[in-house]
Amino acid sequence: MANDIMEAKSKELIVSKMAETLIGSEIIKLAWQINDKIAEGQEIFNLTIGDFDPEIFPIPAALKEGIKLAYDNNETNYPPGDGVTELRKVVSKYLFDKGGLEYSKDEILITSGARPVIFSAYNTLVDVNETVIFPVPSWNNNHYTHLTRSNAITVETKPENNFMPTAEEIEPYVKKATMLSLCSPLNPTGTVFTENELSKICDLIVSENNRRGENEKPLYLLFDQIYWQLTLGDTKHYNPVLINPAMRDYTVFIDGISKVFCATGVRVGWGFGPKKVINKMKSIISHMGAWAPKAEQVALSKFYCNYDLVDTFLDGMKKGIYERLKAFYDGFKSLKDEGFNVDAIIPQASIFMTVKIDLKGKKMKNGKILENTAQVTDFLIEEAKIALVPFSSFGASPDSVWYRVAVGTCTTDQITEIMNNFRSALQGLE
């Protein structure tokens, strides 16, 4: 009997093919590997994860106090399945006043951050083995297509287009697809669509849906604009429904406070779009239980309608982000001018920027040749003491020499040290 039990335990358990082949978040894995090294005493600047150091970028003070008050007032029971009514009303008004978008409270779904919105949108719009188009690099679309057992068509974007996809690149695939997933401002690049290019993409979608007729599932657009309020300088954010009103029936938006209020751990996000689609997404969320905590929703409903407080916070936060992005940009351009094979794209929005680090073929002090992106990434960690996420972790080619820099966890003084470390490491290569 004991032998039978031991034999049963030794057998490899069989799980679903989806789970067996699912890859966990490469970014989170890398970030925690670096944090483990830091905990062991290694001095490494972790610029991998799109998060904030709360000591440097705290959430708005009024929002924090509002959350505390909501808990003191025992706002700890279940929230409504689609979100606290007052918050949906406030989000509706904010979208109209600040973004020019007209969506009623019944076309808005509040969730625990943006991820449940994305997951429920994929499951609402795309059936098993249907096709999703998305550009690479982009955040997690490869994993959401895997989770929903759909097929992916990837569009590898180009640095000369700031890694934003074009209508010309997308057009060959639209007849095969059920959904196009786009993000602007884009994670990981910190770049945005031009009005002209987004207009062309909208025309492409509307034209394709006119071709399909009434009885065929339309080509939907999942449009992630969670960084839309973090545009920098003269950069403007454009959205598909304002550019082409016919897009309203086909577009589901992703939004929330995770990045705009440095509130990644507060977990309040939302989606909005056609009422029927949002209602189906609500049903999925009801089974997931992925509601934002009620106290946070109550507090946000009071803070988000105070535009003076919101604007003051955003002005200060964006100033701090821009200072860091500009310091990195200037640093990389200086290294390029010194003859090193690095470069950077001017940051336009979000907390990210795009840098090129092409060190393949270089010889380290120990005589080892850097042959691929993985080895270059390790070199940066071990020798330059900086951790960055390669674009290959965002679905781009394994040979890509481009990386994401996230600036929410560093001080401006640290950037000088980071760039000095980087320069010294580069000087040690042959």
pLDDT of residue 255: 98
Q: What pLDDT, on the 0 to 100 scale, is given for residue 36?
A: 84
Looking at this protein, which amino acid is placed at residue 29?
Answer: K
Q: Answer whether the bond into residue 60 is a cis peptide, omega within 30°.
A: no
Encode pLDDT of 4-22 as tens digits: 655 555 578 999 999 999 9
> How would you class 392 by CB atoms within 10 Å of its CB: exposed for 0-12, middle for 13-18, buried for 19 or more?
buried
Separation of alpha carbons 422 and 73, rounded Å: 51
Tokens of 14: 């069989």
Through-space distance between the first and last CA atoms of the chain, rounded to whole angstroms: 64
Could you give the CA distance from residue 192 to residue 228 in angstroms, rounded to a whole number? 9
pLDDT at 189: 98
**Whole-angstrom distance, CA of residue 203 vs CA of residue 197:** 10
- Give residue 9's pLDDT: 58
Return the pLDDT at 27.
80
Q: Give the per-residue pLDDT at 179.
A: 98
Instruction: Please give the model's pTM, rounded to 2 decimal places.
Output: 0.94
User: C-alpha angle 243/231/35, rounded to 5°?
Assistant: 130
Domains of the chain and any CATH numbers: 2-57+312-427 (3.90.1150.10), 61-306 (3.40.640.10)
Q: Which residues pair with 108 in a beta bridge?
A: 272
Residue 158, sorted as left (phi over 0), alpha (psi -120 to 50) or beta, turns out to be beta
Pick out the chain residues at pLDDT < 70: 1-10
Question: Is there a contact between 183 and 139 (Cβ–Cβ < 8 Å)?
Answer: yes
Q: How many CA atoms lie within 13 A of 40 on its CB side?
A: 8
Instruction: Give dist(CA 302, CA 310) in Å, integer.
Output: 11
| pLDDT of res. 359 | 97
Nearest Cα neighbor of 155 from 175, 130, 180 is: 180
Q: What is the token pair recorded at 250?
A: 């086909």
Cβ atoms of residues 86 and 254 within 8 Å: no
